[in-house]
């Protein structure tokens, strides 16, 4: 059975998350249902990461096994046809080795969190960013973020329901980009690591927002990290600003020779 890698984009608002659920709409379930339209029967796909309810993706990667030898372009086009009207799109498709795995072969995950500071509510971009109605100090937030880089025990920034075997992770990047807007200022948090704990990125951003607002000092982030105590974490921010932006592999399956 040939195996195919899928590059997936989705708007997370209508979904209960990536993972298939019995009675709720999920991204995995939507794609598996589309696959069943192409090849009748049960399908199980695997992804690089399981995003939570309301979280988006611009670079999720999954793989599936099919009976037929599909041309990758035709497969992506057929899936996109059957995925309508769900807000899921197959951006690219590639044939991979039979033992290639979207999750276990990944060496890096990249997340983006979008936060906007403005008084007026969001309209056309509602559900795509977290809005706060007060000014933020980007330099202070970056100073706080720098304390999180490297190898640490991230228990403070780990959900109580996290299933990871260890809270020890290496954070390779947490960079804050300031994007001026016609109204307000957008702050983009670029976060990169081999793997993440449950709610880790949202815990980071919620804590750093408190630094930007002046309620915390940058060094308070270091103290919270050292506490290794979930109670020391700042607020966990809402999911709508979070995007799985990309997944890294030793050899990118979507790069053509």
Residues annotated as catalytic are: 52
Task: State the chain's maximal CA–CA distance in angstroms.
Answer: 58
Backbone φ/ψ region at 102: left (φ over 0), alpha (ψ -120 to 50), beta: alpha
Distance CA 24, CA 37 (A): 20
The two structure tokens encoding residue 92? 């690219």
What end-to-end distance do the CA atoms of the chain give, in Å?
Answer: 24
Burial pattern 218-250, b for ≥16 Cβ within 10 A else e, equals bebbeebbeeeebebbbebbbbbbbbbbbbbbe
Strand-strand pairing, 88-96 and 56-65: unpaired
Ordered alpha helix ranges (H), 88-194: 138-146
Backbone φ/ψ region at 41: left (φ over 0), alpha (ψ -120 to 50), beta: left
Strand-strand pairing, 56-65 and 242-248: parallel
From the DSSP assignment, how many helices (H) and strands (E) are in the chain?
Answer: 5, 10
How far, in whole angstroms, is CA 44 from its chain's centroid? Answer: 21
């Amino acid at each position: 059975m040939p195996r195919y890698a899928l590059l997936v984009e989705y708007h997370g608002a209508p979904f209960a998350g990536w993972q298939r659920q019995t009675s709720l709409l999920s991204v995995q379930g939507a794609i598996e249902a589309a696959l069943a339209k192409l090849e009748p029967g049960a399908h199980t796909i695997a992804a690089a990461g399981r995003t939570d309810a309301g979280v988006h993706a611009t670079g999720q990667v999954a793989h599936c096994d099919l009976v037929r030898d599909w041309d990758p372009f035709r497969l992506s086009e057929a899936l996109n046809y059957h995925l309508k009207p769900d807000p899921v799109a197959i951006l690219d498709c590639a044939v991979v080795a039979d033992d290639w795995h979207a999750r276990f072969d990944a060496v890096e995950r990249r997340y983006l969190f979008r936060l906007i500071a403005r008084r007026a509510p969001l309209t056309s971009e509602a559900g795509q960013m977290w809005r706060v109605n007060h000014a933020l100090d980007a330099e202070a937030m970056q100073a706080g973020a720098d304390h999180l880089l490297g190898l640490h025990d991230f228990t403070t920034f780990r959900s109580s329901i996290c299933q990871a075997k260890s809270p020890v992770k290496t954070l390779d990047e947490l960079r804050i980009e300031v994007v001026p807007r016609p109204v307000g200022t957008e702050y983009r948090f670029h976060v990169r690591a081999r793997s993440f704990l449950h709610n880790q990125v949202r815990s980071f951003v919620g804590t750093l927002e408190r630094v930007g607002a002046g309620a915390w000092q940058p060094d308070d982030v270091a103290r919270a990290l050292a506490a290794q105590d979930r109670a020391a974490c700042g607020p966990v921010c809402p999911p709508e600003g979070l995007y799985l932006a990309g997944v890294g592999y030793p050899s990118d399956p979507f790069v053509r020779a």
